Amino acid sequence: MIQIKTRAGAGLALALACSGVSAQDHAQQLPSIQLGAGMHLIQAEVAQSDEQRAIGLMHRPSMPANNGMLFVFEQPQPQCFWMKNTLLPLSIAFIADDGTIVNIEEMKAQTLDSHCSAKPVRYALEMNTGWFAKKGIKPGTKLRGKPWGQ
């Protein structure tokens, strides 16, 4: 779940609340792309609108081992995520424009703790908790895939 810090994001949340529609009451399924991290392949759903990013991986009871969600933002800026209504503990990698992992954070399920990028980024990749550590993927690793022209 992303912590909405923009006026547009706050406006969307207010509009949904006022309309009686709660976009955050169900798990979403988004189109996915394949990414690479070293020799590992990732099937990542792509969240690129304000609403898609706000819902993220909320309300999912499980996620396949090599699946995740790639959050795509319009421009590099500090990104912070939280886990309200997210049932799964997750690891998040904050990723620079060239696909290089800037920092990785471990996020506990259903908490409001902020997990932020160490510098402005346009991408964040959420995977099951511990996925990056188990695969030996660390800050400085360069990911492959369509967002980075590979």
Domains of the chain: 7-145 (2.60.120.1140)
Instruction: Tell the residue number behind the tokens 């090599």, with chain if given.
Output: 66
Distances (CA, A) of 93 to 8, 19, 22, 35: 24, 34, 28, 13
Give the global pTM: 0.84
The predicted model gives 16-38 an average pLDDT of: 71
Would you say the C-alpha torsion 55, 57, 61, 67 has a positive or negative sign?
A: positive
Which residue matches tokens 């503990």?
89
User: What's the pLDDT tens digit per position in 99-117?
Assistant: 999 999 999 999 999 999 9
- The maximal CA–CA distance of the chain, rounded, in angstroms, is 47
Q: What are phi and psi of 51, to 5 degrees?
A: -65, -45
Residue length, the chain?
Answer: 150
